[in-house]
Amino acid sequence: MDIFDKYSLPAARHEKVLKAGTDPFGVRMEELYSATEARVDGKRTILVGTNNYLGLTYDPLCMEAAIEAIRVHGTGTTGSRIANGTYATHVALERALATFLDKRSAMVFPTGYQANLGILSGLAGANDVILLDADSHASIYDGCRLSGATLVRFRHNDPADLDKRLARLGGDDRCKLVVVEGIYSMLGDRAPLREFAEVKRSHGAYLLVDEAHSLGVLGDHGRGVAEEQGIEHEVDFVVGTFSKSLGAVGGFGASSHPKFDVLRYCSRPYMFTASASPSNVASVLAALREIERRPDLRRRLWANARALFDGVVAAGFEVCAEMSPVIALRMKDEETAIYAWNRLLERGVYVNLALPPGTPNGACLLRASVSAAHTPEQIAEVIARFGALAEDLAALERAAGARIPARL
């Protein structure tokens, strides 16, 4: 038996995808022109699937901050935070994040994935219970598993189901941690945090919110769904990433709990990995300042999201959630989704192809994410190309007995 035999099914599915056209899991950005355009397969392509919500990857202040940090601090720290890997800039970023989030303390991680691993496995242990939304990100599931806590899933965005499951635990004196996301990355729907907060409070539980896709996007100051819904004081722990609105790489955890900083020497993913590079830390610090001083970025983002949402709906596509910077279109089956994704790429539009088992309820999706950096002309062009795709799909439907071909 070969050690890779266990992957025979996903390998066979991948081969099927390859036969239909470009490999969606191996798309290469051959040259980047801006936050919203790149050369892909030799063609100038509008990027509508990067999660670069505020377009800050090409912000001049962020870029210059990163360049200057390399000149002053070098390319990397070569050490963990508990060894030689804590620079003054790491501490400055943590203070800036805590201030921005209106929390007592913040911890920075080299990736957003590690932030969930580190915070969740540090907060919960074998004698605790984690109740997590069934549609949670893979990093949340992995952090929960690493904690060794008892895991209880509740139905997606369903406070009543959470209440029922907490009630079943009865007088159990174990600590209970409820984990939800602000905006869910796959469909773009947002959590009813106010209702979740009421449930957690009534059962004496803690609440952790992953604001990865909502940081910089929602709220008067860009702090996320909790700020938008006015319940920040009810959120015990916040986690998030730098790889979306902040235009970099990394992640964080933040809290006002007076003992939160104990995780600095109790969370293994924080303790035993090299710290974030000085250039990355510097660009995130600059991006935070841009978010605070430029609310126009959020206004442009939402104007673009509204335009694209209305455009794809008018073209006849089924959207999966209310309007947000993540716009997911439901395809009728896997073959249609693969076909549609290839046709868009051929027309110079990059979106995400999302297939089971990595999607909620086995949905086959085209997933777009909008940026404040998209121009109105780019959004109009993307809508036009979606319109052409809709005509292709309709023509195939009209053809009696037609099957979705591998290529046009």
Predicted confidence (pLDDT) per residue in 23-40, tens digit: 998 999 999 999 999 999
- Kindly state the helix (H) or strand (E) to which residue 344 belongs, with its residue range: helix 334-346
Rounded Cα distance between 200 and 255, Å, is 16
Q: Note the pLDDT tens digit of each residue in 127-168.
A: 999 999 999 999 999 999 999 999 999 999 999 999 999 999
Q: Mean pLDDT, to the nearest integer, of 211-232?
A: 98
- 244 catalytic? Reply is yes
Considering the candidates 103, 156, 176, 244, report the single residue annotated as catalytic.
244
Structure tokens, 230: 């006015």
Q: Note the pLDDT tens digit of each residue in 107-122.
A: 999 999 999 999 999 9
Strand ranges in 190-249 using DSSP code E only, listed in sequence order:
206-210, 237-241
- Kindly state the helix (H) or strand (E) to which residue 37 belongs, with its residue range: strand 37-40
pLDDT at 234 over 80: yes
Considering the candidates 90, 213, 255, 277, report the single residue annotated as catalytic.
213
The domain ranges of the chain are 5-53+295-398, 59-293
Strands 176-181, 349-350: parallel, antiparallel or unpaired by DSSP? unpaired
Phi, psi of 342 (to 5 degrees): -65, -40
Work out the pLDDT band at 402, boundaries 50, 70, 90.
Answer: low
Coil, helix or strand for 274? strand
At position 40, the amino acid (one-letter code) is V
Cβ–Cβ < 8 Å for 129, 175: yes
Phi-psi region at 188: left, alpha or beta (left = phi > 0; alpha = psi -120 to 50) = left
Handedness of CA 207, 370, 323, 300 (dihedral sign): positive
Considering the candidates 105, 136, 139, 185, report the single residue annotated as catalytic.
185
pLDDT at 388 over 70: yes
- 203 catalytic? Reply is no
**DSSP-assigned states of every residue in 66-101:** HHHHHHHH-S---SBTTTT---HHHHHHHHHHHHHH
Coil, helix or strand for 43? strand
CATH T-level assignment (fold) for domain 59-293: Aspartate Aminotransferase; domain 2 (3.40.640)
Q: Fold identical between 5-53+295-398 and 59-293?
A: no
What pairs with residue 241 in β-bridges? Answer: 251
Work out the pLDDT band at 400, boundaries 50, 70, 90.
Answer: very low
- 185 catalytic? Reply is yes
- Kindly state the helix (H) or strand (E) to which residue 152 belongs, with its residue range: strand 150-154
Cβ–Cβ < 8 Å for 337, 355: yes
Phi-psi region at 372: left, alpha or beta (left = phi > 0; alpha = psi -120 to 50) = alpha
pTM of the predicted structure, to 2 decimals: 0.96
What pairs with residue 190 in β-bridges? Answer: 183
CATH of domain 5-53+295-398: 3.90.1150.10
